[in-house]
């Protein structure tokens, strides 16, 4: 390997502008490759257990997708300071994730060998992506790319020693892990068979359940079949994954078709633009919101037409959108539990759910220490308060039934402290009030139209009151819905 392939994160961009990998993030084929890599990651027992216990990818997949795209762009940024800062943030995040699986085996997101496997799946899936779409990489290009992915690992761990230095040794390492360590984990099964079947609609398609359900019913199984067909045969055999007739042909056709879309205008296939458009709220001050709102209106008309043409059960019809200020604008305790509190989607409330809220807020603000730890600590105190008040059977978790039967008032001292810490994080200049720019950083929209302000600012008491109203009053249609409740 040349010296270029062993450059560290401090010396050069992780992705060489002249390499194939520099355009990954805007290549539609990369979406298929990332799904494949995620399944291979989830099939590792440690990673699978960590995902099931701590990740929001089931309940909030669109939010998780956006954060992943943003993080990877930062890690492959041309500015060394940006890469170092993101690596430090990821290390703090991973240091908070540890536990044990259902078989009593421990997991730790800071385990070096496990982190190396994550990078290995990304590199191997990138190579597979080119091969499946009829553009196999030559040896020299693969070596350059492999060096860049080892540099990615070095940026996180300080060195890349957990991955073989030589590319030929890497393939033996990869085969050995697939053969001896991967399992048919619950997380891998969720991604392959449940995630797409139950994928919640993004904000753009809210209010069009019929159209979304119809599209998902077709696309979900197809994506599952394509992903299974692309996995290493050794893993498919060990995991007992079915070989569907025609799946290999379908897989190659999907990669070829995705590759053709790269000739579309860059703005059409930029993943950040697409994700932002899918998640824009109607009252956003983003210039794209008007176009998105018009598109949403057309989607609703198409959904209504589909309902007329297709016999559907009554539960597919959307519930009326409540008006603010009415009793109907209050969520039931059960709905609030599942949409807001149960961030991991496992039907229980425990510390990983509140940690996920802290993680999302820390990511939104791009917090450094000690502000990040301060936010996590406030949520940890709130969890202890909730556990003491609501965990009636003493199992260390709070069920939806325990929550609903208690009919709790959540606005205790610990939740008030969470609101105050959140206000301080939002109030970047520390002047005691939140201006329009600071508000936009948190909510990604302008001042809410129902927000009463006298001087164009948002004071501490009003902010804390609104946050407590959302968390304790379970009111819908607030700026906090896209932040903590939406998928």
pLDDT of residue 51: 93
Give CA–CA dist 447/388, Å, rounded: 36
Give CA–CA dist 211/307, Å, rounded: 8
Mean pLDDT of 63-83: 84
Tell me which H or E stretch contains 434.
Answer: strand 433-434
pLDDT of residue 356: 93
Mean pLDDT of 82-101: 92
Q: List, by residue range, all CATH 1.10.238.10 domains of the chain.
A: 327-485
* 458-459 vs 433-434, strand pairing mode: antiparallel
| Token pair recorded at residue 477 | 């249609």
Task: With beta carbons less than 8 A apart as the criterion, state whether 392 and 402 touch.
Answer: yes
What letters, b where the CB count within 10 A reaches 16 and e where it falls short, cover 462-474? bbbebbbebbebb
Higher-confidence position of 84 and 194 = 84
Give CA–CA dist 347/353, Å, rounded: 10
* 398-399 vs 348-349, strand pairing mode: antiparallel
| pLDDT higher than 70, residue 281 | no
The 10 Å Cβ neighbour count of residue 294 is: 10
pLDDT of residue 140: 93
Mean pLDDT of 401-405: 82
| pLDDT higher than 80, residue 389 | yes
The 10 Å Cβ neighbour count of residue 441 is: 15
Confidence band, pLDDT 50/70/90 cuts, at residue 23? low
| Token pair recorded at residue 283 | 């009252």
Average pLDDT of the chain is 80
| pLDDT higher than 90, residue 39 | yes
What are φ and ψ of residue 217, in 5° steps?
Answer: -65, -25
What letters, b where the CB count within 10 A reaches 16 and e where it falls short, cover 84-115? eebbebbbbbbebbbbebeeeeebebebeebb
Mean pLDDT of 151-175: 95
Confidence band, pLDDT 50/70/90 cuts, at residue 355? very high
| pLDDT higher than 90, residue 25 | no
pLDDT of residue 31: 85
pLDDT of residue 221: 86
Confidence band, pLDDT 50/70/90 cuts, at residue 288? low
- Mention every residue, 6+ apart, whose C-beta is less than 8 A from residue 465: none
Percent of the chain with pLDDT over 90: 40
Half-sphere exposure of 238 (CA within 13 A, CB side): 17
Task: With beta carbons less than 8 A apart as the criterion, state whether 173 and 164 touch.
Answer: yes
pLDDT of residue 364: 85
Half-sphere exposure of 98 (CA within 13 A, CB side): 8
pLDDT of residue 184: 94
| pLDDT higher than 70, residue 149 | yes
Give CA–CA dist 73/66, Å, rounded: 11
Weakest-pLDDT range from 38-47, 103-112, 284-293? 284-293
pLDDT of residue 477: 67
Percent of the chain with pLDDT over 70: 74
* 433-434 vs 398-399, strand pairing mode: unpaired
| pLDDT higher than 60, residue 320 | no
Q: Which CATH number does the domain 327-485 belong to among 1.10.10.10, 1.10.238.10, 3.40.50.720, 3.40.50.620? A: 1.10.238.10
What are φ and ψ of residue 192, in 5° steps?
Answer: -75, -40
């Amino acid at each position: 390997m040349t010296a270029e392939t062993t450059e560290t994160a401090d010396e050069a961009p992780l992705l060489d502008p002249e390499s194939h990998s520099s355009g990954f993030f805007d290549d539609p084929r990369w979406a298929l490759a990332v799904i494949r890599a995620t399944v291979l990651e989830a099939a590792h027992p440690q990673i699978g257990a960590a995902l099931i216990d701590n990740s929001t990818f089931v309940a909030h997949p669109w939010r998780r997708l956006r954060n992943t795209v943003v993080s990877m762009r930062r890690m492959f940024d041309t500015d060394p300071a940006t890469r170092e800062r993101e690596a430090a943030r990821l290390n703090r995040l991973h240091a908070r994730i540890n536990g044990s699986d259902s078989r009593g085996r421990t997991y730790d997101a800071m385990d070096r060998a496990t982190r190396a496997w994550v990078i290995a799946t990304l590199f191997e899936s990138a190579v597979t992506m080119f091969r499946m779409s009829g553009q196999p990489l030559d040896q020299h290009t693969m070596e350059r790319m492999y060096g860049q992915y080892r540099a990615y690992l070095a940026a996180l761990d300080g060195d890349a020693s957990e991955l073989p230095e030589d590319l030929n040794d890497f393939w033996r390492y990869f085969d050995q892990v697939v053969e001896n360590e991967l399992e048919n984990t619950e997380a891998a099964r969720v991604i392959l068979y449940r995630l797409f079947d139950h994928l919640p609609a993004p904000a753009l398609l809210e209010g069009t359940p019929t159209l979304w359900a119809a599209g998902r019913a077709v696309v979900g199984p197809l994506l599952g079949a394509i992903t299974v067909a692309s996995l290493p045969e050794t893993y498919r055999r060990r995991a007992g994954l079915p070989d569907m007739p025609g799946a290999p042909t379908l897989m190659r056709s999907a990669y070829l078709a995705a590759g053709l879309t790269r000739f579309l205008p860059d703005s059409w296939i930029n993943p950040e633009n697409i994700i932002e458009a899918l998640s824009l709220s109607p009252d956003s001050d983003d210039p794209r919101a008007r176009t998105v709102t018009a598109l949403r209106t057309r989607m609703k008309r198409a959904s209504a037409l589909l309902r007329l043409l297709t016999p559907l059960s009554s539960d597919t019809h959307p519930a009326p959108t409540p008006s603010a200020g009415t009793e109907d604008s209050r969520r039931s305790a059960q709905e609030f539990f599942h949409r807001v509190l149960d961030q991991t989607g496992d039907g229980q409330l425990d510390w990983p759910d509140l940690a996920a809220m802290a993680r999302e807020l820390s990511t939104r603000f791009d917090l450094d220490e000690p502000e990040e730890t301060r936010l996590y600590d406030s949520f940890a105190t709130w969890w202890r308060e909730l556990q003491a008040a609501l965990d009636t059977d003493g199992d260390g978790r709070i069920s939806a039934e325990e929550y609903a039967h208690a009919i709790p008032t959540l606005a205790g001292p610990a939740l008030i402290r969470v609101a105050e810490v959140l206000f301080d994080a939002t109030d970047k200049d520390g002047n005691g009030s939140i201006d329009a720019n600071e508000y936009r950083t948190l909510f990604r929209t302008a001042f809410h139209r129902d927000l009463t302000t006298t001087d164009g600012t948002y004071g501490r008491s009003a902010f804390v009151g609104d946050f407590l109203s959302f968390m304790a009053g379970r009111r819908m249609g607030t700026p906090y819905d896209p932040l903590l409740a939406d998928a």
